[in-house]
Amino acid sequence: MYSKARLRVKITTLYLAIPTLLLTVVEPLVGNAHPKSKQTGEGYSNSLPLGQSNLSESRVSNSIAPGVVHTVITRGEKSERDSYTVDVTFKATFQEAQAVAKSLVAQGYQPRVEPILQRAADDPDIGPLGYLVRVGNFTTEADATDLQKQLTAAGYAGLRVVNTGEDGGKTTGPWVVNVLEIDPAQFQGELAPALATGIVPGNEPLTQLALRTKALAAVNGGYFVIGASDGTPGDLAGISIIGGKLVSEAVNGRTSLILPSGSGKNARVAALSSEVTVTADSGATRSVDGLNRKPGLIRGCGGVGGDVPTENPKHDFTCTDSSELIQFTPAFGQTTEPGEGAEVVLDASGQVIEFRVSRGGQIPSNGSVLSATGDAVQWLQTEAQPGTKIDIKARVLADEEELPIEETLGVINGGPGLLRNGKIKITAFTEGFHWQDNPEFYYRFGVRRNPRTLAGITATGKLLLVTVDGRQPGWSVGASFEESARIMRSLGATDAVNLDGGGSTTITINQQLINRPSDSTGERPIADAIEIQSGIQDE
């Protein structure tokens, strides 16, 4: 028997043909690794636990500053077994997938139905995650794209051209991994999160951010809002603390990276929650729903105050709430998000100095603004007239214990957790990376290989910032959640977390991009980054 957490599937193909159905036997696999490396990575001689243990691997390391080492690892080679195919649909049941496949057969195609057996390691449900219907097996992407066009003309929608090397099963790679290792005992500079554009709204490429701040090295940071339909573009979709100031509320319960000091000392990985409350002179209290974002749109969910459809984390999904109280600080820029509602301006002491009958006013440089919609407007009208005082208290819990918010504290949102105390512990279901109403989401995000940005802490307190290039057959295929966990453990991490990845995965050294982002348009504008400053000032 194989444990659910480590179950991988050698793709089982159900070939539909008239008039018979041929079922190929399912062969479970433990990861993609040599059997000796199921748990500990033994048998790899310190090489990455990706593919078979005899794959070629090279490593080149350079010290870029005292206590900072960059290593680029290349492993494996393009597999002749990998090919391009067209994903037609993903269905929760075999019967649904079979119906689509029969329709394709009737139109002269030769579909395959592939069961996806791997669920999130902490998913309480059992059985197949779903069934994938595919057509075609091509050497070139262009041929697969031609088939996609034919199927679209035949009435099929939502088609994807994919490379099977990214499926999560056996492959020889290749993989390209960049590692920044920071040793706080030797590092003499500063390590901290930084906002793109310097404020919350807006995104910018990592190279531009690094150039603006003269960063020695940097990697992209946490999840964020891209489009205005999901909130404020640039808003961190999860917790952000920069210089000891809470910039964005948590997706409660989601694992993130904590940097208590500017040197990286005592860095840790933990599940974080935040709580912000306001108390009026009368003693009346109310929860603050969020910080520095458009009211009513909660990217990633995991909030408070009756969000719809859930207050649990749900990744890449936008929950809504028509009645919110949002705090805007100078980190948002000069003005709040405009719209119907009301807002009050607070000075540095919390005294109300202005009441506004609509949203979208100036943010004081030494104060904040409470912006209200729905029934929160009535609360401001009753409790926050000019001259009154509002006490705002923020609490952050790390693994359910209060985290001191000190001036040097930095936090970068992420998820799911990958390692705890040296063991693989992928908390994807708990942290909202599995959608029960759409199991295909976890397949695409966690089972398949994607570009990844990862952070981890070693037993000796070193910080590892790691990128894995992906979605580029012949260059690098990316990593699944489980492969990401095994990569981090093989590099020496005892605790690790997944950060934002995909097209956001970028790493710079001396303001130069050193990896290959996966977006066809090139480097993706991001919302925040983890920066390494050398500590050496220009003359």
Give yes or no for a contact between 56 and 76, defined as CB atoms under 8 angstroms apart.
yes
Give the residue from 350, 330, 382, 381 showing the smallest Cα distance to 278.
350
Q: What is the DSSP letter of 47?
A: S
Q: What is the pLDDT of residues 208-260, one digit of tens each?
A: 999 999 999 999 999 999 999 999 999 999 999 999 999 999 999 999 999 99
Tell me the β-bridge partners of 273. 397
As given in the structure block, the two tokens for residue 98 are: 């079979």
Mean pLDDT of 29-41: 31
Q: What is the DSSP letter of 404?
A: P
CB neighbours of residue 113 within 10 Å = 22
As given in the structure block, the two tokens for residue 75 are: 């492993």
Give yes or no for a contact between 431 and 425, defined as CB atoms under 8 angstroms apart.
no
As given in the structure block, the two tokens for residue 537 are: 């000032």
As given in the structure block, the two tokens for residue 424 are: 């693989």
Q: What is the pLDDT of residues 306-350, one digit of tens each?
A: 999 999 999 999 999 999 999 999 999 999 999 999 999 999 999
Give the residue from 374, 370, 375, 376 showing the smallest Cα distance to 356.
370
Give yes or no for a contact between 183 and 67, defined as CB atoms under 8 angstroms apart.
yes
To which H or E segment does residue 529 belong? strand 528-533
User: Residue 311: what are its φ and ψ, rounded to 5°?
Assistant: -100, 0
Residue showing tokens 């059985």: 127
Q: What does DSSP say about strands 507-509 and 285-287: parallel, antiparallel, or unpaired?
A: unpaired
**Where does 336-460 show beta strands of DSSP type E?**
342-346, 352-356, 368-372, 391-398, 401-402, 410-413, 417-420, 423-424, 452-458
Cα separations in angstroms, 538 against 186, 214, 263, 325, 534: 21, 10, 20, 44, 11
Residue showing tokens 């394709």: 104
Q: What is the pLDDT of residues 139-162, one digit of tens each?
A: 999 999 999 999 999 999 999 999
0.75 cut: is pTM over it?
yes
Q: Residue ranges per domain, the chain?
A: 270-405
